[in-house]
Structure 1
Amino acid sequence: MTDRSFRILVNPLSGGGTAPEKVRQVSELLVRAGARVSVEQSRDAAHSQAVATDAVERGEVVVAAGGDGMLASIAGTVVAAGGTLGIVPSGRGNDFARMLRLEGTPEGVAHCLLEGDPTPVDVIEVADGAGATTVVLGSLYAGVDSLASEIVDRSRRMPAALQYPSAAVRALASYQPVEFHVTVDARTHVQEAFNVVVANSGYYGSGMHIAPMADVHDGVLDVVVLPAGSRLSMIRRLPKVYDGSHVELDGVTVLHGSQVRVAGEGVVGYGDGERIGPLPLTATVRPGALRLLLP
C-alpha cells in the first residue's frame, strides 16, 4: 500500500489520442495499490500550469501524461513550486522518458510512480532577447530541425512512427544553412551549419541519439553543431544520428559548458518540440532543479 497522491494531467491528443486510455489503465493500478488519484485533461499550457501549481500546494505528485511537449509545459511550474513530477510516456517521441529508461507499459509506469524515488535531474533555462524564460528538459535546437518540427506539427495525419523521419528528410531538402555564432561559457565558435543542438538529454526527434555524451545528472550542457554540406550527404548520414555515431564525422563540432548563447540570422529556436522564438537565445543549465520519480 502507498500513501502517495497523484494529480495526472493528460493531453488527450497525445499518441494519436491513445493517452487517455493509457492513463485509465495506470490509474486503476495506482488506486488498487492504495494511492489517491485525480485525472484532468489539459486544455492548454496555462491551464496545465495552474493545475500543477495547485497540485503541488496540496502535496500531490504532478504527473504528465503525453509527449515531451506536455512534459516540458509543466516542468518549469513544478520546479518553481518545489514539487515532484512523474511521467506517463504517451506521446509521439517520448525522448526524455527514453533518456531516463522509463518503462512504457502501464504496469511499469505504475510501479515507477508508486515506488520511484524523487530524484534531482538537470533542466535547461532558455532566455530570449527580452529576458523571458522557458524551462526545457531535453534540448534547445535551431536550424534544419526547427523546420522539421514545424513540418511535424503539420503532419498529424501521418502515422506517428513516420512523422519525424519524414520531416527530417523534407526539411533537409529545403533548408539553407546559415552562419551560427555559438558562445559557450564566453568562448565563441562560428560555423556555417545545418543545425545546432544544446542538449541536456541525449535524445530528440523520436529516438535520434543526437548527444550521446549527455547526462541529465552532470550539470553540463552538451552542444552539437552539424556542419553545412550537400543535402544528399546529410540525408545519407541521417541514420548515424539514431545510433550517435554522427559525432565522429568530419566537421561535426561538440562543445560542453554551463551556459550557451546561440545566434543565427533568421533562425527560430525550438525546445522539446515546442516553438520558443527567434535567435539569439541563451540556454543555462540548472543542476538538479527538478525532482522526478525514477525507478
Structure 2
Amino acid sequence: MSRAFTFLVNPNSGGGAAPKVVVPLARQLREAGAEVEVSYTSSPAVVPDLVKAAVAAGRVVVSVGGDGMLSSVAGAVVDAGGELAVIPAGRGNDFARMLEVPTDEAGQVALLLEGTPTPVDLLAVTSPGSAPTLVAGSVYAGVDARIAQIVDRSHWLPKALQYPVASVRGLATYRPVELTVEVDGVSSTHRAANVVIANSKYYGKGMAIAPGAVVDDGELDVIVIEAAGRVGLIRSLPKVYDGAHVGLDEVTVLRGTRVTVSGSYAGGGAAVPVGADGEALGDLPASGEPLTVEVRPGAIKILR
C-alpha cells in the first residue's frame, strides 16, 4: 500500500527555496501512486492543528524547511502520535545532515516511499516559568546564540557566506560567560565562550560541534568551550567543521540525560542569549531556577 503524505512547507526557508523543492518532489510522489497534500505556513501557531489533521488522516508529516521548522513540527508530531519525514530546504539543514537525508530528488523520493519509521531522540527544553519545548538538534548559549542572531540579519549575503561571516563577527565581539553547568547531578563552573547541549553532532551549517553525538542513544552531549582570546577562537574555528576542536584543552565534553545551565556575562550587562536549532529561545537565567534540557529517548519516529 502506498503512503500518504502531508507536506508542511515554510515558504521563507532558505530564502524562498522550500517551494522550489517541494513542487517537483510532490509531483514524483503522485506519479508513483502516493497521496500528497501540501500546506504552506511560516507560523508555528498553526502547525499543531495541521499536524493533528494529517496524523488523523493516516498521513506521514513531511517537514520542508530548515532546522527551526523541523523542531516546531516535531513536537506537534509527537503530541499527535504520528510519523515524520524531513526534507531539507533551509539555511543550515543540520538535523537532516545528521539523519543523512539525501540531497537529490531521486534519493528523497526513495526515502519517502521506502524509508523505515525509526525512533529518534528529542530534547525537552524548559525555561523558568514556561512549559517544555521539544527541540531536535541542539540548545546553545553564549557566542553561538549571538552568531545565530547575526545570521538572522544577514539575508543580504549569499547563503554560503551567512554562517562563516556571522561566526567571525560573533567571535570578534564575544564576551566570556560565567556558567554553572550540571549534568546528571554533577555541577561544574566555567568561564566560557559558549555551551552546547546536543542531540545531533551538527549545527551552524555543518559544524561538527558534538562529534560523538548520536540521535538514538538516549544521551546528550554537552560541549563547553572555555573563554579564550578572540584571535585564538577565530583561528580554531576551522577545527569545528571536522570535530577536531574537542581535542583542545579549552574544550570540555560531558555526557548525560539531564542538563541544567545558568549564567551571566562576566562583568554584568545584557542577558546571555539562548538559541535552539537556529531559533531564539530567550535568555539564560543568571540565578535561581536554571534552564533545563532533558533527553526524550525515542520520542519520535522519523523515516530513515
Do the two structures share a fold, i.e. TM-score over 0.5?
yes
Residue 154 (structure 1) aligns with: 153
1:12 partner SS: coil
- Contact kept, 8 Å, 1:87 with 1:109, in 2: the verdict is no
1:81-105 Cα deviation digits (max 9, x unpaired): 1100011111111100111111011
Counterparts of 2:234 and 2:42 in 1: how far apart (Å)? 37
The aligned amino acid for 1:288 is G
- Contact kept, 8 Å, 2:2 with 2:113, in 1: the verdict is no
Unmatched tracts of structure 1, length 5 or more: none
Residue 45 (structure 2) aligns with: 46
Counterparts of 2:277 and 2:175 in 1: how far apart (Å)? 22
2:241 partner SS: helix
- Contact kept, 8 Å, 1:226 with 1:251, in 2: the verdict is yes
Unmatched tracts of structure 2, length 5 or more: 265-270, 285-289
Residue 164 (structure 1) aligns with: 163
Does residue 241 of structure 1 match 2:251? no
Q: How many residue pairs align between the two structures?
A: 293
The aligned amino acid for 2:139 is L
Q: CA offset at residue 250 of structure 1?
A: 0.8
Residue 117 (structure 2) aligns with: 118
1:92 partner SS: coil
Counterparts of 2:137 and 2:249 in 1: how far apart (Å)? 25
Residue 87 (structure 1) aligns with: 86
Counterparts of 2:86 and 2:223 in 1: how far apart (Å)? 27
1:179-207 Cα deviation digits (max 9, x unpaired): 11110011111010001000000000000
Misfit runs of 4+, over 6 Å? none
TM-score normalized by structure 2? 0.95
5 Å matches for 1:197-236? 197-236=196-235
- Contact kept, 8 Å, 1:127 with 1:133, in 2: the verdict is yes
1:179 partner SS: strand
- Contact kept, 8 Å, 2:47 with 2:76, in 1: the verdict is no
Percent sequence identity over matched residues? 54
2:203 partner SS: coil
5 Å matches for 1:67-78? 67-78=66-77
Counterparts of 1:150 and 1:222 in 2: how far apart (Å)? 23
1:36-69 Cα deviation digits (max 9, x unpaired): 0010101300112221121111111110000101
Moved more, 227-236 or 14-23: 14-23
Does residue 293 of structure 1 match 2:303? yes
1:260-295 Cα deviation digits (max 9, x unpaired): 00111221211101111212310000000010011x
1:205-254 Cα deviation digits (max 9, x unpaired): 00000000000010000000001010000000000000000000012100
Counterparts of 1:67 and 1:19 in 2: how far apart (Å)? 9
Counterparts of 2:104 and 2:65 in 1: how far apart (Å)? 14
Q: CA offset at residue 3 of structure 1?
A: 2.0
1:205 partner SS: coil
Residue 280 (structure 2) aligns with: 275
Moved more, 49-58 or 178-187: 49-58
Residue 267 (structure 2) aligns with: none
1:129 partner SS: coil
Moved more, 189-198 or 266-275: 266-275
Does residue 191 of structure 1 match 2:185? no
1:22-42 Cα deviation digits (max 9, x unpaired): 101110111011100010101
- Contact kept, 8 Å, 2:246 with 2:252, in 1: the verdict is yes
RMSD: 0.9
Q: In the superposition, relative to structure 1, how do residues 233 and 113 fare at CA in structure 2: closer, same or farther (>3 Å)? A: same
2:249 partner SS: coil
Counterparts of 1:187 and 1:43 in 2: how far apart (Å)? 40
Residue 181 (structure 2) aligns with: 182
Counterparts of 2:68 and 2:103 in 1: how far apart (Å)? 17
